[in-house]
Amino acid sequence: MPCLPKTDPIKLAKLDPILLRAKIDVPVITSFGIISERTSLLIRAEDIDGAVGWGEVFGNFPTHGAENRKHILEDYIAILALSKSWKSPLEAFDTITAKTHVLTLQSGEPGPFAQSIAGLDIALWDLAARRVNMPLWKFLGGKCNYISTYASGLNPTGFENIVEQKITEGYNAFKIKVGFCREGDLQSLSKIRKLIGDRRLMIDVNQGWDLATARENWIAYSEHNLDWIEEPLAADSPLSEWKDLALQPGAPIAAGENLLGDEQFNNYINSQCFGFLQPDMCKWGGFSKTLPLARRSLSHGITYCPHFLAGPIGLLASAHSLAAAGGDGLLEIDANFNPIRENLVEGLPSIKNGIMTLNDASGLGIYPDPKFIKKYAVT
Ligand SMILES: [Mg+2]
Protein backbone atom coordinates (compact mmCIF):
# COMPACT_ATOMS: atom_id res chain seq x y z
CA MET A 1 0.00 0.00 0.00
CA PRO A 2 1.43 3.44 -0.87
CA CYS A 3 2.38 5.50 2.16
CA LEU A 4 0.77 8.71 0.87
CA PRO A 5 -2.76 9.10 -0.53
CA LYS A 6 -3.50 10.01 -4.13
CA THR A 7 -4.42 13.63 -4.71
CA ASP A 8 -5.98 15.48 -7.62
CA PRO A 9 -3.48 17.67 -9.48
CA ILE A 10 -2.67 20.98 -7.79
CA LYS A 11 -2.17 24.13 -9.85
CA LEU A 12 -1.28 27.06 -7.64
CA ALA A 13 -2.30 30.61 -8.42
CA LYS A 14 -0.56 32.28 -5.46
CA LEU A 15 2.10 31.50 -2.90
CA ASP A 16 2.62 34.04 -0.13
CA PRO A 17 5.17 33.73 2.67
CA ILE A 18 4.07 35.70 5.75
CA LEU A 19 6.61 36.44 8.46
CA LEU A 20 5.31 37.02 11.99
CA ARG A 21 7.36 38.23 14.93
CA ALA A 22 6.39 38.84 18.56
CA LYS A 23 8.22 40.13 21.60
CA ILE A 24 8.38 37.98 24.74
CA ASP A 25 9.23 38.91 28.32
CA VAL A 26 10.94 35.65 29.25
CA PRO A 27 13.47 34.26 26.75
CA VAL A 28 13.83 30.55 25.98
CA ILE A 29 17.22 29.43 27.31
CA THR A 30 19.01 26.50 25.69
CA SER A 31 22.55 25.16 25.90
CA PHE A 32 23.23 26.51 22.38
CA GLY A 33 21.85 30.02 22.88
CA ILE A 34 18.97 32.25 23.92
CA ILE A 35 15.75 32.77 21.93
CA SER A 36 14.64 36.26 22.91
CA GLU A 37 11.73 36.77 20.48
CA ARG A 38 9.31 34.47 18.71
CA THR A 39 9.00 34.18 14.95
CA SER A 40 6.70 32.19 12.74
CA LEU A 41 7.13 32.05 8.97
CA LEU A 42 3.84 30.95 7.38
CA ILE A 43 3.06 30.01 3.82
CA ARG A 44 -0.36 30.65 2.30
CA ALA A 45 -0.89 28.65 -0.89
CA GLU A 46 -3.96 29.21 -3.07
CA ASP A 47 -4.87 27.13 -6.09
CA ILE A 48 -6.55 28.30 -9.31
CA ASP A 49 -9.97 27.35 -7.89
CA GLY A 50 -9.47 29.42 -4.74
CA ALA A 51 -8.73 26.54 -2.34
CA VAL A 52 -6.21 27.54 0.32
CA GLY A 53 -3.62 25.63 2.34
CA TRP A 54 -1.27 26.77 5.11
CA GLY A 55 2.26 25.72 5.96
CA GLU A 56 4.99 26.80 8.37
CA VAL A 57 8.75 27.06 7.85
CA PHE A 58 11.35 26.57 10.58
CA GLY A 59 12.74 29.89 11.74
CA ASN A 60 13.27 29.53 15.50
CA PHE A 61 16.96 30.17 15.71
CA PRO A 62 18.60 32.45 14.97
CA THR A 63 15.32 34.33 14.61
CA HIS A 64 16.66 36.74 12.00
CA GLY A 65 17.15 33.70 9.75
CA ALA A 66 13.39 33.70 9.12
CA GLU A 67 13.83 36.73 6.85
CA ASN A 68 16.25 34.74 4.73
CA ARG A 69 13.75 31.88 4.31
CA LYS A 70 11.08 34.40 3.33
CA HIS A 71 13.32 35.77 0.58
CA ILE A 72 14.16 32.24 -0.60
CA LEU A 73 10.43 31.52 -0.88
CA GLU A 74 9.71 34.76 -2.72
CA ASP A 75 12.69 34.68 -5.06
CA TYR A 76 13.06 30.97 -5.87
CA ILE A 77 10.51 28.54 -4.44
CA ALA A 78 7.35 30.46 -5.40
CA ILE A 79 8.45 30.76 -9.04
CA LEU A 80 8.99 26.99 -9.24
CA ALA A 81 5.83 26.16 -7.27
CA LEU A 82 3.67 28.27 -9.59
CA SER A 83 5.35 27.02 -12.77
CA LYS A 84 3.26 23.89 -13.37
CA SER A 85 0.47 21.64 -12.21
CA TRP A 86 1.62 19.08 -9.62
CA LYS A 87 0.34 15.50 -9.58
CA SER A 88 0.94 15.47 -5.83
CA PRO A 89 2.72 17.45 -3.10
CA LEU A 90 5.41 14.76 -3.21
CA GLU A 91 6.06 15.53 -6.89
CA ALA A 92 6.39 19.23 -6.01
CA PHE A 93 8.74 18.38 -3.13
CA ASP A 94 11.03 16.16 -5.21
CA THR A 95 11.06 18.43 -8.26
CA ILE A 96 11.68 21.68 -6.40
CA THR A 97 14.32 20.00 -4.22
CA ALA A 98 16.12 18.80 -7.37
CA LYS A 99 15.79 22.13 -9.17
CA THR A 100 17.24 24.09 -6.24
CA HIS A 101 20.07 21.66 -5.54
CA VAL A 102 22.75 23.73 -7.27
CA LEU A 103 21.50 26.85 -5.50
CA THR A 104 21.87 25.15 -2.12
CA LEU A 105 25.47 24.33 -2.99
CA GLN A 106 26.21 27.78 -4.37
CA SER A 107 24.70 29.56 -1.37
CA GLY A 108 25.92 27.03 1.17
CA GLU A 109 22.37 27.00 2.52
CA PRO A 110 20.84 23.55 2.16
CA GLY A 111 18.98 24.06 5.45
CA PRO A 112 17.07 27.24 4.59
CA PHE A 113 16.06 25.83 1.20
CA ALA A 114 14.98 22.52 2.76
CA GLN A 115 12.97 24.39 5.40
CA SER A 116 11.23 26.54 2.78
CA ILE A 117 10.31 23.48 0.70
CA ALA A 118 9.10 21.67 3.84
CA GLY A 119 6.70 24.55 4.61
CA LEU A 120 5.42 24.53 1.04
CA ASP A 121 4.79 20.78 1.28
CA ILE A 122 2.71 21.24 4.44
CA ALA A 123 0.63 23.93 2.71
CA LEU A 124 0.04 21.68 -0.33
CA TRP A 125 -1.14 18.76 1.81
CA ASP A 126 -3.39 21.05 3.82
CA LEU A 127 -4.84 22.39 0.58
CA ALA A 128 -5.31 18.88 -0.85
CA ALA A 129 -7.15 17.67 2.27
CA ARG A 130 -9.33 20.79 2.45
CA ARG A 131 -10.38 20.31 -1.19
CA VAL A 132 -11.82 16.88 -0.35
CA ASN A 133 -13.14 18.14 3.00
CA MET A 134 -11.18 15.68 5.11
CA PRO A 135 -9.06 16.26 8.20
CA LEU A 136 -5.41 15.77 7.35
CA TRP A 137 -4.82 13.03 9.90
CA LYS A 138 -7.55 10.94 8.27
CA PHE A 139 -6.64 11.91 4.68
CA LEU A 140 -3.09 10.70 5.37
CA GLY A 141 -4.31 7.32 6.58
CA GLY A 142 -4.57 7.85 10.33
CA LYS A 143 -6.87 5.57 12.28
CA CYS A 144 -7.14 7.52 15.50
CA ASN A 145 -7.46 11.23 16.29
CA TYR A 146 -6.08 10.99 19.86
CA ILE A 147 -2.44 11.82 20.44
CA SER A 148 -0.33 12.01 23.59
CA THR A 149 1.50 15.25 24.29
CA TYR A 150 4.14 16.74 26.52
CA ALA A 151 4.96 20.22 27.76
CA SER A 152 8.36 21.10 26.35
CA GLY A 153 11.06 23.75 26.31
CA LEU A 154 11.19 24.32 30.07
CA ASN A 155 14.05 26.63 31.00
CA PRO A 156 16.66 25.32 33.47
CA THR A 157 15.45 27.72 36.17
CA GLY A 158 12.23 29.56 36.93
CA PHE A 159 10.06 26.75 35.55
CA GLU A 160 7.98 26.13 38.69
CA ASN A 161 4.99 28.34 37.82
CA ILE A 162 4.83 27.06 34.24
CA VAL A 163 4.92 23.44 35.38
CA GLU A 164 2.13 24.03 37.90
CA GLN A 165 0.07 25.82 35.27
CA LYS A 166 0.60 23.02 32.73
CA ILE A 167 -0.41 20.37 35.26
CA THR A 168 -3.61 22.37 35.81
CA GLU A 169 -4.15 22.55 32.04
CA GLY A 170 -3.98 18.76 31.82
CA TYR A 171 -0.40 17.94 30.88
CA ASN A 172 1.19 14.85 32.40
CA ALA A 173 4.63 14.76 30.70
CA PHE A 174 7.41 17.35 30.74
CA LYS A 175 10.76 18.08 29.15
CA ILE A 176 13.36 20.37 30.66
CA LYS A 177 16.51 21.82 29.14
CA VAL A 178 19.88 20.71 30.53
CA GLY A 179 23.46 20.74 29.22
CA PHE A 180 24.56 23.77 31.29
CA CYS A 181 26.59 22.82 34.39
CA ARG A 182 26.17 19.39 35.94
CA GLU A 183 25.44 20.65 39.44
CA GLY A 184 22.76 23.10 38.22
CA ASP A 185 21.24 20.51 35.88
CA LEU A 186 20.92 17.94 38.67
CA GLN A 187 19.36 20.52 41.00
CA SER A 188 16.80 21.39 38.31
CA LEU A 189 16.03 17.71 37.83
CA SER A 190 15.49 17.13 41.55
CA LYS A 191 13.24 20.17 41.71
CA ILE A 192 11.07 19.30 38.74
CA ARG A 193 10.81 15.64 39.74
CA LYS A 194 9.46 16.75 43.11
CA LEU A 195 6.97 19.08 41.40
CA ILE A 196 5.59 16.56 38.91
CA GLY A 197 5.62 13.42 41.07
CA ASP A 198 5.59 10.29 38.92
CA ARG A 199 4.54 12.05 35.70
CA ARG A 200 6.77 11.46 32.69
CA LEU A 201 9.99 13.49 32.47
CA MET A 202 12.47 13.95 29.62
CA ILE A 203 15.60 16.09 29.28
CA ASP A 204 17.04 17.92 26.28
CA VAL A 205 20.80 18.50 26.14
CA ASN A 206 20.48 20.34 22.79
CA GLN A 207 23.76 18.79 21.52
CA GLY A 208 25.58 20.22 24.53
CA TRP A 209 27.87 17.34 25.57
CA ASP A 210 30.81 15.54 24.08
CA LEU A 211 31.03 11.77 24.48
CA ALA A 212 33.17 11.88 27.64
CA THR A 213 30.76 14.31 29.37
CA ALA A 214 27.74 12.30 28.25
CA ARG A 215 29.24 9.08 29.65
CA GLU A 216 30.08 10.82 32.90
CA ASN A 217 26.54 12.20 33.28
CA TRP A 218 24.38 9.39 31.90
CA ILE A 219 23.65 7.41 35.07
CA ALA A 220 23.34 10.40 37.43
CA TYR A 221 20.84 12.13 35.14
CA SER A 222 18.98 8.89 34.32
CA GLU A 223 18.42 8.29 38.03
CA HIS A 224 15.72 10.95 37.88
CA ASN A 225 13.58 8.39 36.05
CA LEU A 226 13.74 9.85 32.56
CA ASP A 227 11.81 8.65 29.52
CA TRP A 228 14.63 9.85 27.29
CA ILE A 229 17.79 11.94 27.05
CA GLU A 230 17.57 14.11 23.93
CA GLU A 231 20.45 15.13 21.69
CA PRO A 232 23.23 14.45 24.20
CA LEU A 233 25.77 14.76 21.36
CA ALA A 234 26.05 16.91 18.24
CA ALA A 235 23.71 15.52 15.60
CA ASP A 236 26.61 14.71 13.27
CA SER A 237 28.62 12.77 15.85
CA PRO A 238 29.95 9.46 14.49
CA LEU A 239 27.67 6.46 14.93
CA SER A 240 30.39 4.82 17.04
CA GLU A 241 29.78 7.51 19.70
CA TRP A 242 26.01 7.04 19.60
CA LYS A 243 26.56 3.26 19.92
CA ASP A 244 28.76 3.82 22.94
CA LEU A 245 26.07 5.90 24.63
CA ALA A 246 23.30 3.49 23.70
CA LEU A 247 25.13 0.81 25.71
CA GLN A 248 25.20 2.94 28.88
CA PRO A 249 22.75 1.82 31.53
CA GLY A 250 19.97 4.40 31.94
CA ALA A 251 17.57 6.35 29.76
CA PRO A 252 17.22 5.73 26.00
CA ILE A 253 18.39 8.30 23.46
CA ALA A 254 16.12 10.62 21.46
CA ALA A 255 17.27 12.72 18.48
CA GLY A 256 16.44 13.76 14.95
CA GLU A 257 15.47 17.45 14.92
CA ASN A 258 18.80 18.38 13.33
CA LEU A 259 18.92 15.79 10.57
CA LEU A 260 18.26 16.59 6.93
CA GLY A 261 17.39 14.04 4.28
CA ASP A 262 16.52 10.35 4.07
CA GLU A 263 20.12 9.19 4.19
CA GLN A 264 20.85 10.83 7.55
CA PHE A 265 17.60 9.55 9.05
CA ASN A 266 18.14 6.04 7.69
CA ASN A 267 21.62 5.95 9.22
CA TYR A 268 20.07 6.80 12.58
CA ILE A 269 17.25 4.28 12.19
CA ASN A 270 19.52 1.46 11.09
CA SER A 271 22.04 2.11 13.88
CA GLN A 272 19.62 0.80 16.54
CA CYS A 273 20.97 3.43 18.95
CA PHE A 274 17.80 5.50 19.29
CA GLY A 275 14.61 4.81 21.20
CA PHE A 276 12.86 7.91 19.84
CA LEU A 277 13.12 9.67 16.48
CA GLN A 278 12.22 13.37 16.39
CA PRO A 279 12.14 14.81 12.86
CA ASP A 280 11.00 18.43 12.57
CA MET A 281 8.72 18.46 9.53
CA CYS A 282 9.09 22.25 9.15
CA LYS A 283 12.89 21.87 8.92
CA TRP A 284 12.94 19.09 6.37
CA GLY A 285 10.42 16.89 4.69
CA GLY A 286 6.95 18.31 5.29
CA PHE A 287 4.38 15.50 5.25
CA SER A 288 5.72 13.97 2.02
CA LYS A 289 8.96 12.79 3.61
CA THR A 290 8.19 12.81 7.33
CA LEU A 291 5.22 10.47 7.23
CA PRO A 292 7.02 7.65 5.37
CA LEU A 293 10.01 8.24 7.66
CA ALA A 294 7.82 8.05 10.76
CA ARG A 295 6.29 4.78 9.60
CA ARG A 296 9.75 3.43 8.77
CA SER A 297 11.01 4.26 12.24
CA LEU A 298 7.96 2.63 13.85
CA SER A 299 8.58 -0.54 11.83
CA HIS A 300 12.09 -0.59 13.37
CA GLY A 301 10.69 -0.31 16.89
CA ILE A 302 11.63 3.37 17.24
CA THR A 303 8.97 5.71 18.60
CA TYR A 304 8.13 8.68 16.39
CA CYS A 305 7.89 11.94 18.39
CA PRO A 306 7.71 15.02 16.16
CA HIS A 307 9.92 17.94 17.09
CA PHE A 308 8.37 21.39 16.92
CA LEU A 309 8.67 24.68 18.82
CA ALA A 310 7.09 27.60 16.92
CA GLY A 311 3.65 28.68 15.66
CA PRO A 312 0.24 26.98 15.56
CA ILE A 313 0.34 25.87 11.91
CA GLY A 314 3.51 23.81 12.38
CA LEU A 315 2.22 22.53 15.71
CA LEU A 316 -1.01 21.28 14.14
CA ALA A 317 0.88 19.83 11.18
CA SER A 318 3.05 17.88 13.64
CA ALA A 319 -0.08 16.73 15.49
CA HIS A 320 -1.72 15.50 12.27
CA SER A 321 1.51 13.79 11.23
CA LEU A 322 1.69 11.93 14.55
CA ALA A 323 -1.98 10.93 14.38
CA ALA A 324 -1.52 9.75 10.79
CA ALA A 325 1.65 7.78 11.58
CA GLY A 326 0.26 6.06 14.68
CA GLY A 327 2.45 4.55 17.37
CA ASP A 328 2.66 5.73 20.96
CA GLY A 329 4.79 8.83 20.43
CA LEU A 330 4.22 12.20 22.08
CA LEU A 331 3.55 15.57 20.48
CA GLU A 332 6.00 18.26 21.60
CA ILE A 333 4.15 21.37 22.76
CA ASP A 334 6.18 24.39 23.80
CA ALA A 335 5.29 25.33 27.38
CA ASN A 336 6.79 28.81 27.07
CA PHE A 337 4.48 31.72 26.34
CA ASN A 338 4.39 32.42 22.61
CA PRO A 339 1.87 35.13 21.65
CA ILE A 340 1.76 33.92 18.04
CA ARG A 341 0.88 30.36 19.01
CA GLU A 342 -1.69 31.55 21.56
CA ASN A 343 -3.43 34.18 19.43
CA LEU A 344 -3.07 33.43 15.74
CA VAL A 345 -5.75 30.77 15.37
CA GLU A 346 -8.97 29.90 17.10
CA GLY A 347 -9.71 26.35 18.05
CA LEU A 348 -6.25 25.04 18.91
CA PRO A 349 -7.20 21.73 20.60
CA SER A 350 -6.87 21.69 24.39
CA ILE A 351 -5.17 18.95 26.41
CA LYS A 352 -7.05 16.56 28.70
CA ASN A 353 -5.11 14.02 30.74
CA GLY A 354 -2.16 14.61 28.41
CA ILE A 355 -4.22 13.84 25.30
CA MET A 356 -4.93 16.14 22.35
CA THR A 357 -7.98 15.25 20.28
CA LEU A 358 -8.00 16.40 16.66
CA ASN A 359 -11.37 17.31 15.22
CA ASP A 360 -12.93 16.42 11.89
CA ALA A 361 -12.60 19.88 10.30
CA SER A 362 -10.90 19.74 6.91
CA GLY A 363 -7.14 19.99 6.49
CA LEU A 364 -5.28 21.22 9.56
CA GLY A 365 -8.63 22.30 10.99
CA ILE A 366 -7.65 25.92 11.65
CA TYR A 367 -7.20 29.22 9.83
CA PRO A 368 -4.96 32.09 10.94
CA ASP A 369 -6.94 35.14 12.04
CA PRO A 370 -6.22 38.09 9.66
CA LYS A 371 -6.40 40.45 12.64
CA PHE A 372 -3.45 38.73 14.32
CA ILE A 373 -1.54 38.29 11.06
CA LYS A 374 -1.70 42.07 10.75
CA LYS A 375 -0.66 42.54 14.37
CA TYR A 376 2.48 40.35 14.15
CA ALA A 377 3.41 40.68 10.46
CA VAL A 378 6.91 41.89 9.63
CA THR A 379 6.55 44.06 6.56
MG1 LIG B 1 15.35 19.21 21.26
Span 331-341, average pLDDT: 96
Residue type, 155: N
pLDDT tens string 53-89 = 999 999 988 999 999 999 999 999 999 999 999 999 9
Distance 137 CA to ligand 1 centre (A): 24
Segment 9-31 mean pLDDT: 95
Distance (angstroms) between ligand 1 centre and the Cα of 230 equals: 6
Residues 141-170 have a mean pLDDT of: 96
**Predicted local confidence at residue 1, as pLDDT:** 47
CA of 64 to the centre of ligand 1 (A): 20
The Å distance, Cα 308 to ligand 1 centre, comes to 9
Q: Which helix (H) or strand (E) holds 34?
A: strand 33-47
Per-residue pLDDT reduced to its tens digit, 241-279: 999 999 999 999 999 999 999 999 999 999 999 999 999
Omega within 30 of 0 (cis) for the link into 62: yes
Predicted confidence at residue 3, as pLDDT, reads 84
**CATH T-level topology, domain 10-134:** Enolase-like; domain 1 (3.30.390)
Distance from residue 332's CA to the centre of ligand 1 (Å): 9
**278 Cα–ligand 1 center, Å:** 8
Residue 168 has pLDDT above 60, yes or no: yes
Per domain, the residue ranges of the chain are 10-134, 137-366
Q: Which residues surround ligand 1, an ion (CB under 5 A)?
A: 204, 230
Residue 379 has pLDDT above 90, yes or no: no
- pTM: predicted TM-score of the whole model, two decimal places: 0.97
Domain 10-134 identical in fold to domain 137-366? no
For residue 194, how far is its CA from the centre of ligand 1 (angstroms)?
23
Instruction: Give the list of residues 6+ apart from residue 339 with CB closer than 8 angstroms, or none.
Output: 22, 23, 24, 38, 376
Q: Go through 335-352 and write b for each residue having 16 or more CB atoms within 10 A of its CB, e for each that does not.
A: bbebbbbebbbeebbebe
Superfamily, domain 137-366: Enolase-like C-terminal domain (3.20.20.120)
Could you tell me the distance, in angstroms and rounded to a whole number, from the CA of residue 291 to the centre of ligand 1? 19
Amino acid letter at 52? V
Alpha-carbon distance of 171 to 149, in angstroms, equals 7
CA of 173 to the centre of ligand 1 (A): 15
The answer on pLDDT for 9 being more than 50 is: yes
2 pLDDT higher than 80: no
